[in-house]
Amino acid sequence: MIKSVSRNKIRTKRRLRLRKKVLGNAESPRLSIFKSLKYIYIQAIDDAVGNTIVSLTTAAKSFQSENSGLKSFANKDAAKALGTQFAAVLKEKKITRARFDRSGYKYHGTVKELADAIREGGIEV
């Protein structure tokens, strides 16, 4: 009998393989993302100290009130809005470079829109 492997276990293996290579520091933090079926989460992490510098999500009331025209808070439009808002917050913290950690997700759809929006905001990813 063939044993089936869940999609989440495959993503977890991919995530751990990527985490060996992507490390962040104070000048160039790691941008880690997580996406659920409802929301998208992103945070900038300084791995040298182990601190989260900035964290944003589409689940926040402030994000939902600013972007009330969105149909869903986990689609490409929400990712683009979150990316531009995240880039602005990073600019305020005087961070111009970052390392993108896609957390095992394929680089297309919402992940790609999020990364492109951060780049358009002036952050070198």
SS3 content of the chain, % helix, strand, coil (to 5): 40, 20, 40
Going from N- to C-terminal start, the domains of the chain cover 25-120
Say which CATH class 25-120 falls into. Answer: alpha beta
**Which band of pLDDT confidence, cut at 50, 70 and 90, is reported for residue 55?**
very high
pTM given for the model: 0.89
Comparing 117 with 4, which gets the higher pLDDT?
Answer: 117
Ramachandran assignment for 23, one of left (phi > 0), alpha (psi -120 to 50 degrees), beta (any other): beta
For residue 64, the surrounding DSSP H or E stretch is helix 61-66
Say what the pLDDT of residue 1 is. 67
